[in-house]
Amino acid sequence: MRVTRALSKWIMPGIGLKRWIGLLLTGVAFTSIGLAFAIVELLTPQVLAGQSLPIALPGAIVLLVGGLAVVMLSIIRLLRVVLAPYRRLQNGSVIDVVYAHSKRHKGAHIVAIGGGTGLPAVLRGLKAHTSNLTAVVTVADDGGSSGRLRRDLGVLPPGDLRNNIAALADDESLMTRLFQYRFDHGDLGGHAFGNLFISALSGVTGSLETALIETGRVLNIQGRVFPATLDDITLVATIRANGEMQTVRGESRITQTRGTIETITLAPPHAQAYVGSVKAIESADIVVVGPGSLFTSLLPNILVDGIRDALRATPALKIYVVNIATQPGETENYNVADHILTLERYIGRGVFQLILANNHYPTENAGVNTRYVQPAPEGHEILQRYTVHYHDLVDAERPWRHDPRKLANAILSAADVIHKPVSHQTKVLHASV
């Protein structure tokens, strides 16, 4: 019954399919008749014996060629009719769109974990190479628009989720720009449209999970965006400031308290990991952690028990991307080794097989406040435990951030290198992409 209903829709008036299907059948008929006449004419005893010429052969060839032309025209027209509803969602020629889709669909399964402005850079770079992307995003944010919505509506903070959905969408799409639009005055001043959209959709559908899926469909994103947890979590830090220890609650307050972060925890301490995030990590080919604020974007994901356990258990290649610049209130004076040692305190040693770090420190556009993360000191203990690759990863316009293209190329090329046999267990590479 279902098949019958589907077939009846295909032949309904007004769709524009019947005429081209009829023309296709006509072309097939002409092609068949022409081919048959040509075969019969060439196989007559007189022609085979060389006693006469195939007089009717030109007419048969005309039928054959004409039929093939009609077949090609009808196929092109049919494809245009069938693909027309989808062309609105894609830019470029049909063949380019199909080729790019096929290439990305066959790409590696990559999970990127983080938040803030670092994770979108990873996604923007990698989405050109694979559509099998999953972003696992922190939901510990309590500042700005996300914090207001969290307090007013009781929803999980949508800001980081929004940024990463937008990163997986078409950057030039009007819908993507609308999604990132931020109101600058009135009661909505400071709110991003996408934050309001996700919050409203969560209310309509009854769950953030469904809201993220539907939002991804609206923006036609290349991949998926999952929260690390659906629990309402708060980031709690012990900070040494002015010679005293103090406990600070809330991600936004942690970054405002100038001091040295001693410990970072979640409240409640045993938040349940989102099942989709765990499954994605366990089945990934590559897992990328970072770049991003070490204490307020990366560790809030790793502190979720199920995420930490999945990272330890997955057979995927695990890569940690070190920030380009130090961050006031979090990682002042940190070098590459300091980042890794801090990460080890919360996830243990040897979880990551590869460390990616920057080795280019431009002064142009850097401003006076940018402090670049320096390489690990020669002979440092972390060089005995990890493969470290150094690359030029800098965005020329904003050198304190990663260039998405450079970062994606470094991740994929480094993954190729590390899967090849090497003569030493630990190797430090200095390269430029």
Cα distance between residue 93 and residue 95, in whole Å: 6
The domain boundary residue, chosen from 26, 59, 88: 88
Question: For position 48, what pLDDT does the model report?
Answer: 65
**pLDDT tens digits for 350-392?**
999 999 999 999 999 998 899 999 999 999 999 999 999 999 9
Dihedral class, residue 216 (left if φ above 0, else alpha if ψ from -120 to 50, else beta): alpha
Q: How confident is the model at residue 88 (pLDDT cuts 50, 70, 90)?
A: low
Render 190-202 in DSSP notation, one character per residue.
Answer: T-BHHHHHHHHHH
Give me the amino acid identity at 296: T
Same domain, 266 and 234: yes
Looking at the domain assignment, is residue 38 inside a domain?
yes
Question: For position 105, what pLDDT does the model report?
Answer: 63
Same domain, 392 and 292: yes
Cα distance between residue 101 and residue 144, in whole Å: 36
In the Cβ-directed half-sphere of 32, how many Cα atoms lie within 13 Å?
6
Same domain, 28 and 173: no
Please say whether the beta carbons of 418 and 377 come within 8 A: no
Same domain, 16 and 149: no
317: β partners: 286
Peptide bond into 375 cis (omega under 30): no
Question: For position 385, what pLDDT does the model report?
Answer: 93
Looking at the domain assignment, is residue 349 inside a domain?
yes
Query: In CATH, what number is assigned to the domain containing residue 361?
Result: 3.40.50.10680
Residue with tokens 């500042």: 143
Edge-to-edge strand ranges of the sheet holding 317-321: 224-227, 133-137, 110-114, 286-289, 317-321, 354-358, 387-391, 428-430
Give me the amino acid identity at 13: P
Same domain, 202 and 252: yes
Q: How confident is the model at residue 424 (pLDDT cuts 50, 70, 90)?
A: very low
The domain boundary residue, chosen from 88, 123, 158: 88
Domain of residue 64 covers 2-88
Looking at the domain assignment, is residue 323 inside a domain?
yes
Looking at the domain assignment, is residue 96 inside a domain?
no
Looking at the domain assignment, is residue 343 inside a domain?
yes
pLDDT, greater one: 13 or 226: 226
Looking at the domain assignment, is residue 253 inside a domain?
yes
Positive or negative, the CA dihedral 186, 193, 278, 313 is negative
**pLDDT tens digits for 310-344?**
999 999 999 999 999 999 989 999 999 999 999 99
Looking at the domain assignment, is residue 94 inside a domain?
no
The domain boundary residue, chosen from 88, 121, 139: 88
Peptide bond into 291 cis (omega under 30): yes
Same domain, 155 and 293: yes
**pLDDT tens digits for 243-289?**
889 999 999 899 888 889 999 999 999 999 999 999 999 999 999 99
Mean pLDDT calculated for residue range 20-34: 86
Domain count, the chain: 2
Same domain, 378 and 355: yes
